[in-house]
Amino acid sequence: MTSDRLGVLPPRVVIAGTRSGAGKTTVATGLLAAFTRAGVHTAAAKVGPDYIDPGYHELATGRPSRNLDPWMCGEDAVLEVAARAATGCGLLVIEGVMGLFDGAADATPSSTADVAALLGAPVLLVVDAAGTGRSVAATVHGFATFDPRVRVGGVILNRVATESHERMLRDALAPTGVPVLGALRRDDRLHWPDRHLGLVPVIERRHELVRNLEALAAAITEQVDLGGVRELAAHASRFPVPDSGGEERSAGPSRPSRVRIAVATGRAFSFCYPDNLEVLQRAGAELLPFDPLADRSLPPSIDGLYAGGGFPEIYAAELAGNVELHAALRDGTRRGLVVWAECGGLLWLTRAIDGHPMAAVVEAEATMTPRPTLGYRTATTCMPTPFGPPGTELRGHEFHYSAVRPAGEALRMRGREGVTTGGFGNPRMLASYLHLHLAGHEHLATRFVETCRTGKLVTPTAGESPS
């Protein structure tokens, strides 16, 4: 069956790993490509906050992949986003995050297992078989029995060395009762290029990745039981999800007066959740993409700017050369342009990244660091921002190999490392390392758009929580 409206989920399967690096993205993207090439209308989603893997999903299917993150969005929003991801498709393939049971340190639902249980979806477990023999059975048995909410319905063996190695692994797994639905051989053609934040975004090396994807789709078709995977997906629980308005909500702005918001895009700023753009549109925004690497001016007559994350540090020299755009951005903020900048967007607004001059909207400098800062954050605004008055609560995620000095004082953030303060804010700007996913928090999009519309801080209405 297909998902004819937002409130219905089609057959679905979660691609999980025993750990990070087991091959989830390879298997999930390969399945998406193989099914799509076989004429199956297939959709994709990604558990957790990752921006890059969904780009590979979109390359395989030709349609956007969405992030399912119960920690940031709440469980009800995950159901809605999953249904929206699968609209019009007969199969939903969901790639997990880290190992199957890995999640947030505060035990808030966030793991792949949590999402699989929430969506009533069976799990296809990816096991890195390199250097493994009979012990693979203990691994699979443990994962299959650890959490009664989760049904591990099949195994994909990855990085299998030889035909005899595959036979040994299959024989070892037979007593577990978990079927082996595929065994992928070691193959350098299936390697994805990567760097410090993970895989290289598709937008940067699309032509090369298309070639890799063709080889991967062929390998998956040959070495995986696609019929068995579809049969497993068909055993997902059949239940409706909350219908949040469906295609009517996605059709466009619901308010008569449009607000023009420029959105940074291109190779340096490719991190943006599709749901964020859609909730801004539903709040009344007309979105105007521009590329800070190519465009010498901002889009005309804009009221606001959204600069998400990406890799401005990789393109720092090119960004530094765009002095016309930087001057236009400084002039815009002086004239009252409302700005929301996340992580890479924050770096772009500083005076410099490792000595390369940037827009100098924020009085700070950025430097790259050898170790990452990452994790979920519960944040409270310490000053007025376009999202509301001081005390507004935000739930987001950090992942960066950089530091900004001074760090700023806009947000007080709580995470597993304790409490930190950072970011820059005023009634017309929030620029910080915090990535927000606004599905489930559409009131924040409404406040941002209304601030762009009026130029004034939007305060909570009577009875509305400041968060």
The set of catalytic residues is: 343
The tokens describing 441, both together, are 């928090």
Give the DSSP H/E element, type plus range, for residue 439: none
Mapped to the 3 state alphabet, what secondary structure does 240-309 carry?
Answer: ECCCCCHHHHHCCCCCCCCEEEEEECCCCCCECCHHHHHHHHHCCEEEEEECCCCCCCCCCCCCEEEECE
Number of other residues whose CB lies within 10 A of the CB of residue 371:
6
Q: What distance in Å separates the CA atoms of residue 357 and residue 332, rounded to the nearest whole number?
A: 18
Q: What are phi and psi of 136, to 5 degrees?
A: -60, -30
Q: Which two tokens stand for residue 240?
A: 């409706």
Rounded Cα distance between 39 and 322, Å, is: 44
Vertex 146: Cα angle to 68 and 160 (nearest 5): 80
Can you tell me the distance from the alpha carbon of 467 to that of 462, in angstroms, rounded to the nearest whole number? 13
- Interatomic CA distance for residues 465 and 467, integer angstroms: 5
Q: How far, in Å, CA of 319 to CA of 328, rounded?
A: 14
Close Cβ partners of 12 (under 8 Å, ≥ 6 residues apart)? 82, 86, 91, 92, 93, 94, 119, 121, 233, 236
Element (H or E) spanning 47, and its range? strand 42-47
Map tokens 């393109």 to a residue. 315
Query: Which residues are paired to 286 by β-bridges?
Result: 260
What are the structure tokens assigned to 184, written together? 């992928």
Phi-psi region of 19 (alpha: psi -120 to 50; beta: other; left: phi over 0): beta
- Please give the C-alpha separations between residue 364 and each of 244, 330, 353, 417, in angstroms, as whole numbers: 41, 14, 10, 24
Q: Which tokens sit at 363?
A: 């009085």
CA torsion sign, 335 to 337 to 343 to 347? negative
